[in-house]
Structure 1
Amino acid sequence: MKNNTQISVIVPVYNEDEIIERVITNLKRVMRNAKYRYEIVVVNDGSTDRSGEILKNIKGIRIINHQENKGYGASLKSGIKESKGKWNLIMDADGTYAPEDIPKILRYMDEYDMVVGARIGEKVDIPLTRRPIKYFFNRFASYLAGSEIPDLNSGLRIFKRDIVMRYWKLFPDRFSFTSTLTMLSMTNDHKVKFVPISYHKRVGKSTIHPVKDTLRFFTLLVRLTLYFNPLKVFAPLSAIILFLSIVRGIRDFLVTDHIGNLALMLLFIGFQALFFGLLADIINKRT
């Protein structure tokens, strides 16, 4: 039978029994009013509360059950793999994203490969403790990608399914999935649009681990950049080391009338870093 689904809406769920029914109800209402044929795929990621029981009683959705908690990224990958639509729309189930913002991103989907709901609208409830870190990562990601990224890891976005399938092995099973998707799209010349949306205080307990997930984000950004644009890392690293070498060499010459081993070693390391960056860039362009 021919598949006529245009958009597969994927909702990962882990212990959201306080809000999941309301989220799905509002989501179905918004999608019914859209002009696209759609399906809703809900991935129950090993919930230990009543989420699974509640989902069984909701009509008009497809449910994928994980026997154990595999992670946010793993849930999205399960949903994407089983999805039927050319487009995948993802949305969290914790009440932070409003389904009413979905038409804002659907408006641009025919012009772009991915449309991201950027949490820069008028009503954005992001804890003050997370804002500096979020700002740093957005700025750092913008530098690495060479384009402005106002929201690196928004959980409300629509994208062409084949983008994820093309880079399937690069996507992690945890919270870095959306960050990976953003960086992959931006560094591979896919057309990306960021649309301001609202963001609300989540219902229930957060499953994010601030320190551990922050370190993972940083490592991920560097790893992806080394993979797709290595000179963005190696060039400034080389410049810093060479600068330190020159400063140390001048100091040595003024104090001892000769250049010491440390200055020479830094000079060697600086040029070596630049060489590795150029080599990695050549290999990247040929693959």
Structure 2
Amino acid sequence: MSEANFYGILLIIVTNIDSKFRISVAVPVFNEEGAVSSTLNSLNDILQKINIDYEIIAVNDGSSDKSGEILKGLSIPNLNIIHHAVNKGYGASLKSAIKEARYPWILITDADGTYPVSSIPELLEHVGKYDMVVGSRNGKKVHDTFFRKVGRGIVRKFASYVSGAKIQDINSGLRIFKKEDAEKFWHLFPDGFSFTSTITVASHVNGNRVKYLPIDYHKRAGKSSIKPAKDFVGFLSLIAKLAIYFRPLKVFIPAGIFLMALAVVIVMGGYLWRGEILDATFAVIFITGVQVIIFGFIADMIVKRFYNN
């Protein structure tokens, strides 16, 4: 974002935003000694220019470097620091911050300098019109590896299928949402990196209004604690669990149809290539497919009954 555009948006925010608007900023910190000071100071500078009440909650998640000492040395008036004795995870850090938050809106961002704090005024411009505003990492300058882009794209497509919404960035760490909405989905939030994915899918399935705004994504300062292959499998597993929780038919019906089709292919293949009809194999797989679909309808009725109650 150019300096002229930034100050133009800032002027709109200062002019139009409700002076009673209050927001708590949650910043997880784990071994970010190279960027945490500049990130929090820049964040504070941006928020000071806007006509709102705010607090910054930094959660030192058991850092083994000098992050904790740096946090203690910062002279930011509205800064609240939470210390975890051991590393609990990204989601656990956000949950600790949200529990302590005094204000009804929550802004989350990372301490590693990857997310541009200069984009925050633009996100704030849409608060109130939407229940959640997400900084989508498809701006002009996005630093990311090819494999992470592909993996994120697969997860995003799967999540879009489950939620029935066009999700542009499922796990962006720069977003604004209501504290009360986070509390609704509290029992679903894991302690790891899947917090953002969970609240994205849950918000869409719950019918919340979600706005995606393109942002840049910078190269991080320091080493990432994300393990691409392991986290990719974890994200897919999480989306599958959320699908079963919210939209079970989206999982059970395709799985059941697949098994029934597989049974037909097996019986035809046995007859054409071996001259045999594998009737027992066909029966077991086909009936399993039917049972899976029935389980899906039962799960769907349970989910609907739960929401009606």
* TM-score, normalised with respect to structure 1: 0.95
Q: 1:41 aligns with which of 49, 57, 61?
A: 57
Aligned twin of 1:21: 37
CA contact (8 A) 1:118 1:151 kept: yes
Structure 1 Cα separation of the partners of residues 246 and 51 of structure 2: 36
Aligned twin of 1:6: 22
Q: 1:226 aligns with which of 220, 241, 244?
A: 244
Aligned runs of 1:148-163 on 2, under 5 Å? 148-163=166-181
Q: 1:267 aligns with which of 286, 302, 308?
A: 286
Q: 1:112 aligns with which of 130, 136, 145?
A: 130
Q: State the shift of 1:5 in Å.
A: 6.8
Structure 2 Cα separation of the partners of residues 19 and 245 of structure 1: 56
Q: State the shift of 1:140 in Å.
A: 1.2
Aligned twin of 1:279: 298
Aligned twin of 1:66: 84
CA contact (8 A) 1:5 1:39 kept: no
Aligned twin of 1:212: 230
Q: State the shift of 1:215 in Å.
A: 1.8
Q: State the shift of 1:141 in Å.
A: 1.0
Q: Give unpaired runs (5+ residues) of structure 2.
A: 1-19
Structure 2 Cα separation of the partners of residues 11 and 253 of structure 1: 62
Aligned runs of 1:69-88 on 2, under 5 Å? 69-88=87-106
Structure 2 Cα separation of the partners of residues 209 and 140 of structure 1: 20
Q: After alignment, is 48-57 or 37-46 more displaced?
A: 48-57
Q: State the shift of 1:256 in Å.
A: 4.7
Task: Count residues with an aligned counterpart.
Answer: 284
CA contact (8 A) 1:252 1:260 kept: no
Structure 2 Cα separation of the partners of residues 117 and 75 of structure 1: 20
1:55 is aligned with what amino acid? L
Q: State the shift of 1:134 in Å.
A: 1.1
CA contact (8 A) 1:8 1:83 kept: yes
Structure 1 ranges of 4+ moved more than 4 A: 251-259
CA contact (8 A) 1:5 1:84 kept: no
Gap change, CA 1:55 and 1:258, over 3 Å in 2 = closer
The secondary structure found in structure 2 opposite 1:7 is strand
Matched, 1:132 2:142: no
Could you give the per-residue CA deviations for residues 114-163 of structure 1, whole angstroms, max 9, x where no partner exists? 11101011111011231111111111111111111111100000000011
- Give the share of equivalent positions with the same residue, in percent: 46
The secondary structure found in structure 1 opposite 2:56 is strand
Could you give the per-residue CA deviations for residues 9-30 of structure 1, whole angstroms, max 9, x where no partner exists? 0111111111111111110111
Gap change, CA 1:5 and 1:77, over 3 Å in 2 = farther
Structure 1 Cα separation of the partners of residues 164 and 304 of structure 2: 17
2:142 is aligned with what amino acid? V
CA contact (8 A) 1:70 1:173 kept: yes
Matched, 1:186 2:179: no
Structure 2 Cα separation of the partners of residues 17 and 251 of structure 1: 61
